[in-house]
């Protein structure tokens, strides 16, 4: 087990890539060569800072779509594919089998209630992977689906009774293509739940069974620049990131932004998400 204590999500992206390059062992699932490190955990102290860093040309549109789908508890496959045509290869029958938004639907409001009622609860868990439908799942009984969820579960926990932490467990994580957007969407959800409860976010914990870097991305990974001081990061999500007096209220605002519908009195972060969506759609 490898554990790293870090300040920001951007540091997690940097060190995850470095760890795979320097300590990874060759593994070739489905014939694709990777450098893999198993059983890795990152503890991130400041989840409100961006995971994007120099040397990784992240697309803000993709991060915004993924975060808004998760917080909005919906799936918008057409928008996902419009933003990244390569994602179309993971669809089955025009849908993403493992889309997170539709899988968390209904669970998050119940989690909010547990957290509001009991500051010591250990039951505020959102399940994403479902062995009944995902273990060698298929659409026709023969061919495995193309989109099996990489994330297993999310657990919200109070920290010292005053801050809301989040622990995410993943079976598999691609450090180059996936990790920056995974950290963005999951910390966005952590901030959304914290804002709905009227508290500050605590630390974020990211645990992965298989952390890996594909051979095709190794050279690009070498070009990543180590993140600077936390205060220098863009897209800071301090203070109130999402507006709403309940998680469902926050979720409705996320769905509105995703649908390009104006919302009342947007926070700075909500305005950033709206600009990312509008800019991405305009550029398609």
Per the model's pLDDT, the better-predicted residue between 95 and 194 turns out to be 194
Burial of 59 (0-12, 13-18, 19+ CB in 10 A): middle
**Residue 229: band (very low, low, confident or very high) from pLDDT cuts 50, 70, 90:** low
Q: Count the Cβ atoms, other than its own, within 10 Å of residue 157.
A: 19
Domain 2-282: CATH superfamily is Thymidylate synthase/dCMP hydroxymethylase domain (3.30.572.10)
Which single residue is written with the structure tokens 């991305």? Answer: 217
Per the model's pLDDT, the better-predicted residue between 67 and 77 turns out to be 67
Percent of the chain with pLDDT over 70: 92
Q: How do residues 231-242 score in pLDDT, each as one tens digit?
A: 554 455 656 899
Q: What does the pLDDT read at residue 193?
A: 97
**Residue 86: band (very low, low, confident or very high) from pLDDT cuts 50, 70, 90:** confident
Tell me the C-alpha distance between 184 and 48, whole Å.
9
Tell me the C-alpha distance between 98 and 100, whole Å.
6
Q: What does the pLDDT read at residue 90?
A: 83
Provide the mean pLDDT of the chain.
Answer: 91
Tell me the C-alpha distance between 278 and 259, whole Å.
10
Q: Is the pLDDT of residue 150 over 90?
A: yes
Q: What does the pLDDT read at residue 231?
A: 55
Q: What does the pLDDT read at residue 236?
A: 54
Q: What does the pLDDT read at residue 284?
A: 46
Domain ranges of the chain: 2-282
Q: Is the pLDDT of residue 224 over 50?
A: yes
Per the model's pLDDT, the better-predicted residue between 152 and 231 turns out to be 152
Contact 3, 174 (CB under 8 A): no
Beta strand pairing call for 163-174 and 200-214:
parallel
């Amino acid at each position: 087990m490898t554990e790293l204590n870090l300040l920001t999500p951007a540091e997690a992206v940097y060190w995850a890539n470095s760890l795979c390059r320097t300590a990874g062992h060759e593994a070739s699932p489905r014939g694709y060569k990777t450098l893999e490190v198993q059983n890795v955990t990152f503890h991130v102290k400041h989840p409100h800072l961006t995971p994007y860093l120099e040397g990784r040309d992240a697309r803000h549109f993709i991060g915004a779509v993924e975060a808004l789908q998760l917080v909005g508890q919906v799936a918008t496959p057409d928008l996902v594919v419009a933003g990244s045509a390569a994602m179309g290869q993971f669809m089955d029958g025009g849908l993403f089998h493992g889309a997170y938004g539709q899988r968390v639907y209904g669970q998050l409001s119940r989690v909010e209630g547990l957290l509001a009622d009991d500051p010591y609860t250990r039951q505020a868990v959102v399940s994403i992977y479902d062995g009944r439908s995902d273990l060698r799942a298929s659409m026709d009984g023969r061919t495995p689906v193309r989109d099996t969820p990489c994330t297993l579960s999310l657990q919200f926990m109070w920290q010292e009774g005053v801050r809301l932490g989040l622990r995410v467990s993943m079976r598999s994580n691609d450090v180059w293509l996936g990790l920056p957007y995974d950290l963005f969407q999951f910390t966005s959800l952590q901030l959304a739940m914290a804002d709905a409860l009227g508290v500050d976010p605590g630390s974020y914990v990211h645990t992965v069974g298989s952390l890996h870097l594909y051979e095709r991305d190794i050279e690009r990974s070498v070009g990543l620049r180590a993140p600077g001081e936390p205060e220098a990061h863009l897209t800071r999500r301090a203070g109130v990131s999402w507006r709403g007096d309940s998680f469902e209220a926050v979720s409705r605002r996320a769905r509105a932004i995703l649908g390009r519908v104006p919302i009342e009195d947007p926070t700075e972060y909500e305005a950033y998400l709206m600009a990312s969506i509008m800019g991405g759609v305009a550029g398609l």
